[in-house]
């Protein structure tokens, strides 16, 4: 099978089910655990948005013109608290209305340890799986992406907001009492959160009854040492598939971040 690589599709079952996506064709991966797989980069690279050939990928799969123009590639996607829609300078106000002005969730997850994060409500639980979380707990439901970013910024003063991907892939993370961690974290920034609630009447809902969500990944053998594989350096990547976690294939000779190489034309055999 050959086609443009996209991020893996994942389904939240007792054990997460993964599919590799090549030109919208899906290859079930769980059944390949323990088998040798081979992925060959043909040298062709295509933009995820306009599908034009390109020499270099920006922001995990975009050509430079799309990266410079599209609202989904603007810096405020990485730092939503810097949203500038109200200033009239949004790259695509219509797109923002369907993406940024929809309900978002502020959550705690256990990836390489405790971290805070945000995602659109419609991206649950996909976002947690893509990050390799073994546990997750929604904390707030908010009206806009900017508001979720403001809350995340407050909470990130007291806990991590990024995943240590090497530690996450070693899969030796201890379970946490996320409800207790939530209560401790909120107590550390009560005044700031109260101020935000007062400033955004009706825009913030505390999810006090939310339950912890658990995730079990298809892993036969987790790597003791994490070595990143790279199509730009090694066009032919082969090895025994030992597991899948987040957006990574865990091979017996290294790990491959599938999402990083979105847009690469791959021959799989």
Are both 80 and 158 inside the same structural domain?
no
Mean pLDDT of 3-14: 97
Instruction: Give the pLDDT of residue 191.
Output: 95
Are both 78 and 166 inside the same structural domain?
no
* 249: nearest Cα among 25, 12, 38: 38
Percent of the chain having pLDDT more than 70?
100
Size (the chain), residues: 269
Mean pLDDT of 241-265: 97
As for how many domains the chain has, the answer is: 3
Are both 114 and 209 inside the same structural domain?
yes
Instruction: Give the pLDDT of residue 165.
Output: 96
Tokens of 217: 């990944």
Are both 153 and 186 inside the same structural domain?
yes
Are both 114 and 208 inside the same structural domain?
yes
24 lies in some domain: no
DSSP codes of every residue in 34-56: TSEEEEEEEEEEB-TTT--B-SS
Confidence of residue 109 (pLDDT cuts 50, 70, 90): very high
Contacts of 122 (CB under 8 A, 6+ apart): 102
Domain of residue 158, residue span: 102-214
**pTM for this one?**
0.95
Are both 78 and 125 inside the same structural domain?
no
36 lies in some domain: no
Report the C-alpha gap between 235 and 42 in whole angstroms: 7
Looking at the predicted structure, is the pLDDT value of residue 24 above 90? no
Are both 86 and 106 inside the same structural domain?
no
Q: Rounded to whole angstroms, what are the CA distances from 226 to 8, 37, 169, 257?
A: 20, 19, 7, 12
Are both 200 and 228 inside the same structural domain?
no
Report the C-alpha gap between 133 and 169 in whole angstroms: 10
Looking at the predicted structure, is the pLDDT value of residue 269 above 90? no
Give the chain's mean pLDDT: 96
Are both 114 and 186 inside the same structural domain?
yes
Mean pLDDT of 127-135: 98
Are both 115 and 168 inside the same structural domain?
yes
Mean pLDDT of 12-34: 96
């Amino acid at each position: 099978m050959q086609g443009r690589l996209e991020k893996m599709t994942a389904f939240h079952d007792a054990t997460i089910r993964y599919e590799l996506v090549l030109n919208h064709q899906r290859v079930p991966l769980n059944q390949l655990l323990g088998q040798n797989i081979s992925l060959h980069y043909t040298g062709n690279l295509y933009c995820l948005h306009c599908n034009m050939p390109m020499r270099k990928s920006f922001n995990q799969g975009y050509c430079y013109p799309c990266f410079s123009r599209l609202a989904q590639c603007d810096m405020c996607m990485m730092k939503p608290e810097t949203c500038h829609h109200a200033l009239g300078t949004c790259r695509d106000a219509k797109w923002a209305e369907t993406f940024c002005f929809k309900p978002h969730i502020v959550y705690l997850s256990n990836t390489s340890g405790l971290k805070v994060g945000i995602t659109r409500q419609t991206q649950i639980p996909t976002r947690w799986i893509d990050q390799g979380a073994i546990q997750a707990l929604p904390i707030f439901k908010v009206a806009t992406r900017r508001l979720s970013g403001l809350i995340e910024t407050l909470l990130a003063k007291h806990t991590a907001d990024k995943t240590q991907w090497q530690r996450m892939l070693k899969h030796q993370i201890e379970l946490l009492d996320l409800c207790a961690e939530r209560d401790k974290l909120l107590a550390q920034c009560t005044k700031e959160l109260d101020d935000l609630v007062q400033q955004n009447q009706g825009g913030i809902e505390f999810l006090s009854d939310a339950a912890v969500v658990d995730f079990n990944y298809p892993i036969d053998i987790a790597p003791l040492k994490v070595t990143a594989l790279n199509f730009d350096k090694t066009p032919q990547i082969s090895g025994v598939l030992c597991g899948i976690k987040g957006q990574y294939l865990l091979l017996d000779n290294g790990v491959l971040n599938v999402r990083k190489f979105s847009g690469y034309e791959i021959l799989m055999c």
